[in-house]
Structure 1
Amino acid sequence: MSVSEEQITKLFKARRTVVQMLRDRGYSVDDSDIKMTRHEFIEKYGDNVHLKRDDLLIHCSKGDTPTDQIYVFFPAEQKVGVPMVRNCAKRMKADNVFNAILVVQKALTAPAKAAIGEINSYFSMEVFEESELLTNITEHMFVPKHTVLKDQEKKELLEKYRVKETQLPRILVTDPVARYYGMKRGQVVKITRQSVTADTYDTYRYAV
């Protein structure tokens, strides 16, 4: 496989995982995007010579909350700096979209990381490197099912067991699965595992 073909395959896999991630977070995505093959990807976006990463932009909303929207940017720069980060933030502000994911080819520059830290005072901008998205971590055989609880579900859980959220076992927001689901500090996730004595059993973790 040539370098060009490898780059296309890498980008195709990264975008596919992002689309699956959006679906698993509750965003409305087309089945055609979920099922898109590499051949269909090239037909739609072109080969490595003609493909423009800007064309890969994704914009979608949550089915139960249409105003909850997200952008997924695929910057063309090999190493994303402050200007690109600020341009993405400007578009988010102009379109009233408060969530975004940047899929970058290489790690951000230190100033770009600092810029995102500032932006996240107003918006939620996550960053994934393409290499982190080549496979869907939630499909690994050793990763149990994770379900992020809604606020009301979290409240009912705490009332049922008469515990405070801080008494639950913890999960770091930097954990790969927590990042996949876009977990924020304070959220609770239900983890469903297979049991030897029963079909399944649930445990809960508090994001910190």
Structure 2
Amino acid sequence: MASGLVTDDAGVGRLVRIRSTVMHMLRDRGYLVVEHELAMTRRDFERKYGESFHREDLLINKCKKNDPNDQIYVFFPNDEKVGMKHIKKYVEMMNAEKVSRAVVVVQQNLTPFAKSFLQELEPKIHLEVFQDAEMLINIKEHVLVPEHQVLTNDEKKTLLERYTLKETQLPRIQITDPIARYYGLKRGQVVKIIRPSETAGRYVTYRYVV
């Protein structure tokens, strides 16, 4: 699949599932995703992109529900190996559109040089990298994954004041945790975790992102 042209049945099926996970992830992060995008079937997908297409055709651009200027891109590189030339091209596009955040869905992984370049771009440009294999299944829908809610700065402040806590006294969640990556969490944020409880109905805990 070096050319990025997807023609085989299995390849199309994989990308239908991957795109679905991406759309649900964007909605869960607060981006404006309409219902028919979430419910897109294989037939809908082929009607939109054709029976053969390039991965790059799946490009997604969304804005936050409450802020049209807060946008994100999702890129699907054609090439199996993604290096500096790909990242530079995406950064140019993002700068031109004044977009500072993007997700890159790769077939394998980034080259070491590309990984280093991503770190140099922070904090002005934030690119998150997911592999195809990570996006085939939506981890949020797993039965063992409880509900997560990201607190706003005001909600975080209220929580800490109510319990007279410093944020560092809260239990921690690593920024590399799969669920933290799904929500695109940043260091310093606090996430509310809601688990079902046989006695209380639900059990709430909070985690500080490190």
Q: TM-score range by the shorter chain?
A: over 0.9
Contact residue 58 and residue 73 of structure 1 kept, 8 A: yes
Instruction: Verify: 1:38 aligned to 2:42, yes or no.
Output: yes
Residue 185 (structure 2) aligns with: 183
Q: CA deviation at 1:23?
A: 0.2
Contact residue 73 and residue 100 of structure 1 kept, 8 A: yes
Residue 143 (structure 2) aligns with: 141
2:76 corresponds to which of 71, 74, 77? 74
The 3-state SS of whatever aligns with 1:114 is helix
Instruction: Verify: 1:21 aligned to 2:33, yes or no.
Output: no
Residue 6 (structure 1) aligns with: 10
Q: CA deviation at 1:9?
A: 1.1
Residue 207 (structure 2) aligns with: 205
Supply the RMSD in Å over aligned alpha carbons. 1.0
Structure 1 stretch displaced more, 19-28 or 107-116: 107-116
Residue 125 (structure 1) aligns with: 127
Residue 60 (structure 1) aligns with: 62
Q: CA deviation at 1:120?
A: 2.3
Structure 1 stretch displaced more, 34-43 or 113-122: 113-122
Greater fraction strand: 2
Q: CA deviation at 1:164?
A: 0.4
- In structure 2, distance between residues paired with 1:121 and 1:159: 29
Contact residue 186 and residue 207 of structure 1 kept, 8 A: yes
- In structure 2, distance between residues paired with 1:9 and 1:79: 21
Q: CA deviation at 1:55?
A: 1.6
Structure 1 stretch displaced more, 182-191 or 60-69: 60-69
- In structure 1, distance between residues paired with 2:203 and 2:67: 30
Contact residue 89 and residue 119 of structure 1 kept, 8 A: no
Cα deviations by residue, 1:21-54 (Å, 9 ceiling, x for unpaired): 000000001211100001211121122xx30222
Unpaired runs of at least 5, structure 1 = none
Q: CA deviation at 1:63?
A: 1.0
Letter in 2 for 1:184: K
Q: CA deviation at 1:196?
A: 2.1
Q: CA deviation at 1:117?
A: 1.3
2:104 corresponds to which of 102, 105, 108? 102
Contact residue 80 and residue 109 of structure 1 kept, 8 A: yes
Unpaired runs of at least 5, structure 2 = 1-6
Contact residue 58 and residue 72 of structure 1 kept, 8 A: yes
Cα deviations by residue, 1:151-178 (Å, 9 ceiling, x for unpaired): 1110100011110000000000100000
Q: CA deviation at 1:115?
A: 1.3
Among the aligned pairs, what percent are the same residue? 51
Runs (4+) off by over 4 Å: none
Q: CA deviation at 1:121?
A: 3.2
Residue 113 (structure 2) aligns with: 111
Residue 159 (structure 1) aligns with: 161
